[in-house]
């Protein structure tokens, strides 16, 4: 009953907000954050509910039309896990935006686009129908084009245009894949497609379709040969939106759909998975090397997104239960620490008005909370032991060793060291600078409460979320996810 609400509530918020928000002051902030909070509570209820359900799967037939004729919404442990990740980050980013977005005009427009993007992502996650997935994917990406260009300066418009060109190529490829799959199987329901493909003899046709899909999703996830839109698009957006784009959008549209389609819908193809694995490794290395000599804080973080999504691809491409656990856990962790780091970059930009690392001064004295959160975020992304990034990288490296792929394990460890180097640079130049006492005409102080609240919450979550691997909690959170990805339960339970 409550499953469609994940799409309906954000859409409702977006449209009401366009109508009322421009006339009433403070309406947008209060209303949108309230809706985000309700959706987050729904997610937590669903985490509990999905574990108590029979077979851990729930199928909602929209309009009462039976599967495979109608559109289905599906909740299984994978989608509920993704919903929780997306809405947790969206809720905290929404609160952060309350203060950050003060400097822009048309706040209601920002919040409406934000909610449209959220509705699109939630729709992609819960949809069980391949064309619906395409529609929601377009809603999310088109809203994100608008958000990247939100500042309407020259640089932002150019980045948004570049993003739009690459995004259109990728959605075109995905649409081509959907057309081919519809021509081949005559159905659009994911489980129904899977049941036809598993009996098919034409391995070549399926592999070609998978390849087309893979290129589409790899562009969306900004994996290396197609990564060059991301370092322009993500830094140009307002900081909360950078956090959403790097934190959850590239994962929902890239990683989640690859997991869903290549493990649950298409028959598992070792060659394609190996390709994903090697593309991920390449992207890890190239991303971190490009990040090393950046002086623009947000651009540096954007290059690290490319590198860290490479880790996720590496874990998933290994296709062993351990690798998938590592990939999915790193997905969750990355969404926390990368949004945290982008929010701290927003806090610095809010006070100093620049993104250049060399121009910050006295930050650890003026902004202790921002410095504290950024330190925790940096340690998490670099994989320093008690923080969450360490555990997921460790699992990915163990998974590589389990598959006797020592080279990949070595590269993963080395990239982690380079990440540490790059973030030590950030900490030294941006946060723990020498004390200069000529702070200029403007008296700087710590950012407003809402921004502090979001950053601190994310920092605490980064510190705590390593505990998910404790066996009892792992059983609730991850066992169902791993089972649904590796054992092909998806078809079995939907088409009973």
Partner 1 sequence: MKETNNKNFTSSGMSLIVKTVTRWTVLFIMLYGWYITLFGHLSPGGGFAGGVIVALSFIHIILAYGKDFVVKKINKILSESLETTGALMFLSISIMGFSVGVFFKDFLGQGKAFSLLSGGMILPANIAIMIKVGFGMLSAFLCLILFSPQDEEK
Q: Which is nearer to partner 1, 116 or 322 (CB)?
A: 116
Per rule CB under 8 A, is residue 471 in the interface with partner 1? no
Closest approach of Cβ 90 to partner 1, in Å? 20
Per rule CB under 8 A, is residue 60 in the interface with partner 1? yes
Q: Where are the alpha helices (DSSP H) in 293-426?
A: 297-318, 321-352, 363-366, 368-382, 388-402, 406-426
Q: Is the peptide bond before 68 cis (omega within 30 degrees of 0)?
A: yes
Contact in structure between 50 and 77 (CB atoms under 8 Å): yes
> Of the candidates 25, 52, 54, 63, which one interacts with partner 1 according to CB under 8 A?
63
Q: Which is nearer to partner 1, 136 or 391 (CB)?
A: 136
Per rule CB under 8 A, is residue 468 in the interface with partner 1? no
Q: Which is nearer to partner 1, 120 or 310 (CB)?
A: 120
Q: Which is nearer to partner 1, 170 or 189 (CB)?
A: 189
Residue range at the interface with partner 1 (CB under 8 A); choices 5-13, 76-84, 203-211, 480-488: 5-13
Residue 54, burial from CB neighbour count under 10 angstroms (0-12, 13-18, 19+): exposed
Closest approach of Cβ 10 to partner 1, in Å? 11
User: What 8-state DSSP symbol labels residue 66?
Assistant: P
Contact in structure between 355 and 105 (CB atoms under 8 Å): no
Q: Which is nearer to partner 1, 19 or 26 (CB)?
A: 19
Per rule CB under 8 A, is residue 105 in the interface with partner 1? no
Closest approach of Cβ 47 to partner 1, in Å? 21
The whole-angstrom separation of Cα 238 and Cα 110 is: 10
The whole-angstrom separation of Cα 241 and Cα 90 is: 10
> Of the candidates 38, 47, 59, 62, which one interacts with partner 1 according to CB under 8 A?
62
Number of amino acids touching partner 1 (CB under 8 A)? 14
Q: Residue 68: how many CB atoms within 10 A of its CB?
A: 20
Tell which phi-psi region holds residue 447, choosing left (phi > 0), alpha (psi between -120 and 50) or beta: beta
C-alpha closest to that of 315 among 405, 226, 385, 233? 405
Residues between 143 and 162 that touch partner 1 (CB under 8 A): none
Computed over its alpha carbons, how large is the radius of gyration of the chain? 22
Per rule CB under 8 A, is residue 22 in the interface with partner 1? yes
Residue range at the interface with partner 1 (CB under 8 A); choices 4-12, 197-205, 408-416, 449-457: 4-12
The 361-380 site mask, x for binding partner 1 (CB under 8 A), equals --------------------
Q: Which is nearer to partner 1, 70 or 385 (CB)?
A: 70
Closest approach of Cβ 62 to partner 1, in Å? 5
Q: CA 277 → CA 142, 283, 327, distances in Å?
A: 29, 10, 11
Closest approach of Cβ 18 to partner 1, in Å? 5
Residue 284, burial from CB neighbour count under 10 angstroms (0-12, 13-18, 19+): buried
Q: Residue 359: how many CB atoms within 10 A of its CB?
A: 13
Residue range at the interface with partner 1 (CB under 8 A); choices 61-69, 121-129, 228-236, 351-359: 61-69
Closest approach of Cβ 79 to partner 1, in Å? 17
State the DSSP string of 288-317.
Answer: HHHHHT--BHHHHHHHHHHHHHHHHHHHHH
> Of the candidates 15, 69, 293, 449, which one interacts with partner 1 according to CB under 8 A?
15
Per rule CB under 8 A, is residue 19 in the interface with partner 1? yes
The whole-angstrom separation of Cα 376 and Cα 337 is: 8
Q: CA 292 → CA 212, 234, 288, 303, distances in Å?
A: 32, 17, 6, 9
C-alpha closest to that of 7 among 107, 133, 131? 133
> Of the candidates 51, 59, 61, 182, which one interacts with partner 1 according to CB under 8 A?
61
Per rule CB under 8 A, is residue 296 in the interface with partner 1? no
The 64-83 site mask, x for binding partner 1 (CB under 8 A), equals x-------------------
> Of the candidates 12, 104, 295, 372, which one interacts with partner 1 according to CB under 8 A?
12
Per rule CB under 8 A, is residue 8 in the interface with partner 1? yes
Contact in structure between 326 and 392 (CB atoms under 8 Å): yes
Per rule CB under 8 A, is residue 16 in the interface with partner 1? yes
Residue range at the interface with partner 1 (CB under 8 A); choices 34-42, 58-66, 367-375, 465-473: 58-66
Per rule CB under 8 A, is residue 4 in the interface with partner 1? yes
List interacting residues with partner 1 (CB under 8 A). 4, 8, 11-12, 15-16, 18-19, 22, 60-64
């Amino acid at each position: 009953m409550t499953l469609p609400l994940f799409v309906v509530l954000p859409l409702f918020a977006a449209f009401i907000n366009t109508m009322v928000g421009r006339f009433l002051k403070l309406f947008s902030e209060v209303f949108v954050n309230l809706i985000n909070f309700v959706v987050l509570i729904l997610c937590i209820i669903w985490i509990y509910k999905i574990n108590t359900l029979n077979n851990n799967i729930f199928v909602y037939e929209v309009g009462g039309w039976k599967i495979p004729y109608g559109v289905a919404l599906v909740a299984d442990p994978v989608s509920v896990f993704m919903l929780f990740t997306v809405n947790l980050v969206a809720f905290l980013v929404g609160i952060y935006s309350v203060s950050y977005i003060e400097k822009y005009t048309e706040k209601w427009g920002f919040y409406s686009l934000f909610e449209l993007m959220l509705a699109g992502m939630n729709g992609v996650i819960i949809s069980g129908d391949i064309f619906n997935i395409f529609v929601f994917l377009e809603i999310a990406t088109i809203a994100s084009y608008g958000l990247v260009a939100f500042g309407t300066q020259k640089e932002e418009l150019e980045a948004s245009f570049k993003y739009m060109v690459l995004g259109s190529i990728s959605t075109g490829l995905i649409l081509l894949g959907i057309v081919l799959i519809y021509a081949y199987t005559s159905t659009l329901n994911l489980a129904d497609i899977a049941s036809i493909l598993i009996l098919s003899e034409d391995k070549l046709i399926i592999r070609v379709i998978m390849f087309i899909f893979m290129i589409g999703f790899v562009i969306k996830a900004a994996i290396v040969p197609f990564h060059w839109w991301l370092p322009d698009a993500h830094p140009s957006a307002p900081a909360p939106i950078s956090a959403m784009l790097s934190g959850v959008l590239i994962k929902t549209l890239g990683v989640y759909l690859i997991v869903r389609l290549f493990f649950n819908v298409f028959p598992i193809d070792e060659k394609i998975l190996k390709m994903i694995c090697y593309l991920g490794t390449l992207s890890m290395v190239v991303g971190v090397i490009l990040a090393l000599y950046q002086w623009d804080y947000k651009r540096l973080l954007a290059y690290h997104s490319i590198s860290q999504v490479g880790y996720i691809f590496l874990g998933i491409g290994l296709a062993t239960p351990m690798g998938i656990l590592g990939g999915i856990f790193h997905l969750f962790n990355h969404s926390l620490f990368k949004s945290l780091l982008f929010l701290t970059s927003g806090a610095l930009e809010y006070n100093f008005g620049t993104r250049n690392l060399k121009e910050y001064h006295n930050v650890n004295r003026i902004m202790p909370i921002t410095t504290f959160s950024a330190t925790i975020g940096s340690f998490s992304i670099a994989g320093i032991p008690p923080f969450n990034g360490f555990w997921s990288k460790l699992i990915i490296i163990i998974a590589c060793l389990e598959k006797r792929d020592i080279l990949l394990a070595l590269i993963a460890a080395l990239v982690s060291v380079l990440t540490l180097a790059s973030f030590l640079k950030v900490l030294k130049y941006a946060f723990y600078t020498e004390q200069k006492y000529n702070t200029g005409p403007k008296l700087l102080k710590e950012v407003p409460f809402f921004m502090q609240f979001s950053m601190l919450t994310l920092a605490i979550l980064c510190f705590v979320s390593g505990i998910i691997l404790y066996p009892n909690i792992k059983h609730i959170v991850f066992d169902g996810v791993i089972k649904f990805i590796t054992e092909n339960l998806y078809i079995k339970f939907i088409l009973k």
